[in-house]
Amino acid sequence: MTENFLLADEPRLFDRLEAQASDSLLALIGLAKADTRPEKIDVGVGVYRDAAGATPILRAVKAAEKVLIETQETKSYLGSEGDARFVELIKPIVFGGLGARSDRIVGVQTPGGCGALRLGAELIKAAGGNSRIFVGQPTWPNHVPLIGAAGVEFVAHPYYDKETRTVLFDEMIEALKGARAGDLVLVHGCCHNPTGADLSLNQWRELADLIAERGLLPYVDLAYQGLGNGLEDDAAGTRLVVEAAEQALVAQSCDKNFGLYRERTGALFIKASSAEQAQVAFGNLLGLARTMWSMPPDHGAAIVRTILETEELEADWRAELKEMLTRIRSLRARLAAYDERLAFIDEQNGMFSMLPLTPEAVVELRASHGIYMANSGRFNVAGLSDDNVDYFAAAVVAKLDG
Ligand SMILES: Cc1ncc(COP(=O)(O)O)c(C=O)c1O
């Protein structure tokens, strides 16, 4: 009988598991929700919020969903590449003319930007070799577990100094000079998370030159295109490094710029050395996707495809994305105008900036003002409203004084 095989003092399988620390941002959302003060502000959570504090479903998304309900005739399986037409339509938005021209760039649909980042890491691993990935500090905390889980080795380098509020570009370039041909450079295409501090176009050019000269591969994480300075400007750096590099990866997400978050909508693009090699890479991506999610969820990509295939819906999506961007930019400008020590916020992009606050000051702001932000000082600009931006700025400035 089975029991006979169990040794009395041997722990059962799941009893061996160790407790994991809970996600601190999720815990923060819980704390903010439980706070009953009417003036409380949740700038911890990483989703766009409108002036009323809601994370809306975009008009074009609602309309596309109606079209899908009316016209979709099957829920039968798609292949591991997901919705190929979605990928084809997203490609020129990311790469511009280069994307339309190049048969060296191939892509597959993925479950969000996270899926794309992980699939890319699996491809790097599958290619063998001993490529390492250079990652600026700080970065989005999920980069390390997502990419590291595939077993790719990380090399950390400086990126941003929270105290002086500057990109440490020279230090970054110096560190990248230590990279070997075939090493990867993880870059945020725009709207750097958590700092909001992006490279200038000249810095992107310098980086592109170094990448070309040293045979490095850019691994671009493009999760916020359109929320920094517009769809074209936000892709400019990505296009420069991809064009300069012999080979590249771009992990793209539609979860923020189409407001699709839970629909898990994104794509991974690979630039290979030739059209033939690109097809080989594509075949590998399909094989790797099969081992993880087999095929990506359809609904979000079908929505994006429907929007981009329908002139009026695409125009409305672009208009609403611009409304979101305008709101973020105007809040940034308000914060910057409040006090010169907040002026840096208007030079940064996207939903996040990082305040030069100690974790203790962050906790004190929670207690004294009901302001909820990550311990690092990262806050979501879009979590503010015209009514509370001055209250927020005053509380933060008082802490900078203290
Ligand atoms: C920098 C960055 N990259 C990638 C992602 C992944 O986005 P998703 O998987 O929700 O599409 C996020 C999401 O917060 C992010 O902030």
What is the pLDDT at residue 5? 67
Burial class (CB in 10 A: 0-12, 13-18, 19+), 31: middle
What distance in angstroms lies between residue 340's CA and the mean position of ligand 1's atoms? 31
Is 221 marked active-site? yes
For the stretch 95-130, pLDDT in tens is 998 766 789 999 999 999 999 999 999 999 999 988
- Which helix (DSSP H) or strand (DSSP E) does residue 268 occupy? strand 265-271
Is 401 marked active-site? no
What is the pLDDT at residue 4? 62
Extract the tokens encoding 83: 């919705």
Mean pLDDT for all residues in the chain: 95
Task: Tell whether pTM > 0.85.
Answer: yes
> pLDDT below 50 — which residues of the chain?
none
For the stretch 247-283, pLDDT in tens is 999 999 999 999 999 999 999 999 999 999 999 999 9
Q: Which atom number of ligand 1 is nearest to the Cα of residue 143?
A: 3
Q: Which atom number of ligand 1 is nearest to the Cα of residue 46?
A: 14
Q: Can you list the domains of the chain with their CATH numbers?
A: 22-57+318-401 (3.90.1150.10), 77-309 (3.40.640.10)
Which amino acid belongs to residue 400? L
For residue 10, how many other CB atoms are within 10 A of its CB? Answer: 10
Cis peptide leading into 141, omega within 30 of 0? Answer: no
Q: Are residues 288 and 115 in contact, defined by beta-carbon separation less than 8 angstroms? A: no
Q: What is the CA radius of gyration of the chain?
A: 22
Q: Which atom number of ligand 1 is nearest to the Cα of residue 265?
A: 11
What distance in angstroms lies between residue 253's CA and the mean position of ligand 1's atoms? 7
What is the pLDDT at residue 101? 75
Torsional class of 151: left (φ above 0), alpha (ψ -120 to 50), beta (otherwise): left
What is the pLDDT at residue 100? 66
